[in-house]
Structure 1
Amino acid sequence: MLNKALVPALLLAAGAAHAEGLPGVTDGAGPNLVIEVADTAGTAKGRIVLDLYSDKAPKHVERLLSLAKSGAYDGVVFHRVIDGFMAQTGDVEFGKHGADTARAGMGGSSMPDLPAEFNDVSFQRGTVGMARSQDPNSANSQFFIDLAPAEFLDGQYTVVGQLVDGWDVLNAIKKGDPAANGSVVEPDYMVKVTVTE
Structure 2
Amino acid sequence: MQIKFSRWLVSLIIVGGLFLGGCTSPEVSSQTSENSSTTTPVSVTQANNPQMNNLPRLEGNATVVMVVNGSPITIEIDGNNAPITGGNFVDLVERGFYNGLTFHRVVKSPEPFVAQGGDPQGTGMGGFVDPETKRPRNVPLEIKLKGQDQPSYGKAVGRQAGYSDPQVLLNHKKGAIAMARSQAPDSASSQFYFALSDIDFLDGDYAVFGYVTEGMDVVEGIKQGDKIESAKVTKGAENLKK
For residues 92-123 of structure 1, the C-alpha deviation after alignment (integer angstroms, 9 at most, x for no partner) is: x303xxxxxxxx21000014211111122111
1:48 aligned partner, one-letter code: I
For residues 41-96 of structure 1, the C-alpha deviation after alignment (integer angstroms, 9 at most, x for no partner) is: xxx2x1101100101111111111111111111001011111110111111x303x
Q: Is the 8 A contact 1:94 1:107 kept in 2?
A: yes
Q: Is the 8 A contact 1:36 1:192 kept in 2?
A: yes
Residue 8 (structure 1) aligns with: 16
Moved more, 143-152 or 115-124: 115-124
In the superposition, the TM-score normalised over structure 1's length comes to: 0.71
1:86 to 107, 114, 130: 114
Q: Which structure's CA Rg is the greater one?
A: 2
Q: Please provide the CA RMSD for this pair.
A: 1.8
1:72 aligned partner, one-letter code: F
Whichever structure has more helix as a proportion of its residues is 2
**C-alpha deviation, 1:8, in angstroms:** 1.7
Q: Is the 8 A contact 1:6 1:133 kept in 2?
A: no
Q: Percent identity?
A: 37
Aligned residue pairs total: 149
Is 1:167–2:195 an aligned residue pair? no
- Which segments of structure 1 move beyond 3 Å, counting only runs of 4 or more? none
Residues in 2 aligned to 1:51 and 1:170: alpha-carbon distance in whole angstroms: 14
Q: Is the 8 A contact 2:101 2:117 kept in 1?
A: yes
1:37 to 56, 59, 68: 68
Q: Return 5+ residue gaps in structure 2 as ranges.
A: 1-12, 19-59, 130-135, 145-168, 236-242
Q: Is the 8 A contact 1:7 1:133 kept in 2?
A: no
Residue 76 (structure 1) aligns with: 101
**C-alpha deviation, 1:7, in angstroms:** 2.8
1:8 aligned partner, one-letter code: G
Counterparts of 1:89-104 in structure 2 under 5 Å? 89-91=117-119, 93-95=120-122, 104=123
Question: Secondary structure at 1:7's aligned position in 2?
Answer: helix
Is 1:109–2:109 an aligned residue pair? no
Residues in 1 aligned to 2:17 and 2:106: alpha-carbon distance in whole angstroms: 15
Q: Return 5+ residue gaps in structure 1 as ranges.
A: 11-28, 39-43, 96-103, 175-183
**C-alpha deviation, 1:9, in angstroms:** 8.0
- Structure-2 change in CA distance of 1:9 and 1:32 (3 Å): closer
Question: Secondary structure at 1:169's aligned position in 2?
Answer: helix
Residue 231 (structure 2) aligns with: 193
